[in-house]
Amino acid sequence: MAPSSDSLRVRKSTFSALSCLEKPLSCCLRCCLRGQVYSGEMAMRQTPLTCSGHTRPVVDLAFSGITPYGYFLISACKDGKPMLRQGDTGDWIGTFLGHKGAVWGATLNKEATKAATAAADFSAKVWDAVTGDEVLTLAHKHIVKSVNFTQDSNCLLTGGNDKVLRIYDLSKPEAEPREISGHTAAIKKALWCNSDQQILSAAEDKTIRLWDRNTGEVVKTLSFEASVGSMEYVPDGEILVITYGRTIAFYKAQTLDLIKTVDAPASIHSASLHPDKDFFVAGGDDFKLYKYDYTTKEEMESYKGHFGPVHCVRFSPDGELYASGSEDGTLRLWQTAVGKTYGLWKCVLPEELSSENSDALYCPPAEIKA
């Protein structure tokens, strides 16, 4: 069932990334003036789209790959209700209901057909992202913080407060997971890398470890002066982006050799590298989003839109926008190239302005509710 033109939201009964096929929500909303950017002699201003609906801090987010129906965004929140949205507009598609505690991690497979979540109820769950149905509940011994699919979506990697990495074969739901131990404190993030032949894990023991998938042995360990705040793996170029304290660091994922570091004005919780590797964005304690030139390391611009610390930030797969999640309970979508018509943003040329719509210059940023 496709969304009707008089509805801005997809109800739970039509929970489906693929339900956007017949009449995408973005088509219904693109005629709206929200998110407009004005070009020409008038200064262009970053106007983020605000996605509300969560009632507690948003602590993790992830994009799917680009599918025939666009791309999609999942968010993890302490309210225990991860949400699926249309990636380029932020329009709410549905909420995954089933966890009984804060959700700390969430991910989608490339095709946006599967979702996985990690929660404080000592479980990870696998969901059908088309129907919203729970497929598997994977019991753990402690809080789960991280989930990540292999490229073929057949295996799921988890990590959490019991310090153990687990690999689940999703084609054999009754089988026991393979366990890999070595960290001495809670695991915050665990990711597949290097064509799923290796695993990267970041923990509260102030280390990042690179593991061989086949042997379960540590290939290399990085130690830091502070606990790692976030870790992003960029397959195209095999780059690892990590944050700790005020530092944003870039490493070669295959060897963990340092490429460069950048120091920010405030403690940074998350950073993301643009797919073209021209620049990167970061957010943290001072409520701001920072944009840096990747080559020169110069700060290009900064924006303040959230009303609390920024916990997570990620670029969309096409690089046209980046999403941020905050302590204030909202997701915000930021345009990579301000002034470009994309999603709900519409570039209006000076000659297209009239007295009828000139007041739109003073409209508040758009808010998209669940």
State the chain's maximal CA–CA distance in angstroms.
Answer: 69
Does 16 map to a domain? no
Which of 107, 71, 68 is CA-nearest to residue 86?
A: 71
Residue 42's pLDDT is: 44
Least confident of 21-30, 81-90, 182-191: 21-30
For residue 280, the domain's CATH number is 2.130.10.10
pLDDT in tens, 177-214: 999 999 999 999 999 999 999 999 999 999 999 999 99
Cβ contacts of 331 within 8 Å, gap of 6 or more: 50, 51, 54, 58, 61, 73, 75, 85, 90, 323, 324, 325
Q: How confident is the model at residue 237 (pLDDT cuts 50, 70, 90)?
A: confident
Read off the pTM. Answer: 0.84
Let me know the angle formed at the C-alpha of 248 by 219 and 118, rounded to the nearest 5 degrees.
65
* Residue 59 burial (10 A CB sphere; 0-12, 13-18, 19+): buried
Asked whether residue 242 is assigned to any structural domain, the reply reads yes
Residue 353: its pLDDT value, please?
A: 58
Let me know: does 45 contact 51? Beta carbons within 8 Å: no
Range of the domain at 97: 29-368
The residues facing 367 across adjacent strands are 50
pLDDT of residue 343: 83
Give me the mean pLDDT over the 241-254 stretch. Answer: 96
Q: Which residues contact 351 (CB under 8 A, 6 or more apart)?
A: none
Residue 245 resides in a domain: yes
Q: Residue 68's CB: how many other CB atoms inside 10 A?
A: 7
Which pLDDT tens digit goes with each residue over 261-315? Answer: 999 999 999 999 999 999 999 999 999 999 999 999 999 999 888 999 999 999 9
| Contact status, residue 344 vs residue 89, Cβ threshold 8 Å | yes
- Tell me what pLDDT residue 17 has: 41
317 within a domain of the structure (yes/no): yes
Q: How far apart are the first and last CA of the chain?
A: 19
Q: Is the pLDDT of residue 21 over 70?
A: no
Q: Is the pLDDT of residue 28 over 60?
A: no
In a domain, 39, yes or no: yes
Task: Categorize the per-residue pLDDT at 31 as very low, low, confident or very high, splitting at 50, 70 and 90.
Answer: very low
d(CA 157, CA 148): 5
Q: Taking Cα atoms as reference points, which of 248, 252, 273 lies closest to residue 261?
A: 248
Could you tell me if residue 7 is inside a domain? no
Number of domains making up the chain: 1
- Residue 34 in this model has a pLDDT that exceeds 90: no
pLDDT of residue 248 exceeding 70, the answer is: yes
Higher pLDDT, 114 or 31: 114
- What is the rounded average pLDDT of the residues 10-19? 40
Is the C-alpha dihedral spanning 220, 225, 227, 230 positive or negative? negative
Angle at 116 between CA 115 and CA 118, to 5 degrees: 150
pLDDT digits (tens, 9 = 90+) for 86-100: 999 999 999 999 999
Q: Is residue 9 part of a domain?
A: no
Average of pLDDT values for 335-347? 83
What is the pLDDT at residue 339? Answer: 81
Does residue 6 form part of some domain? no
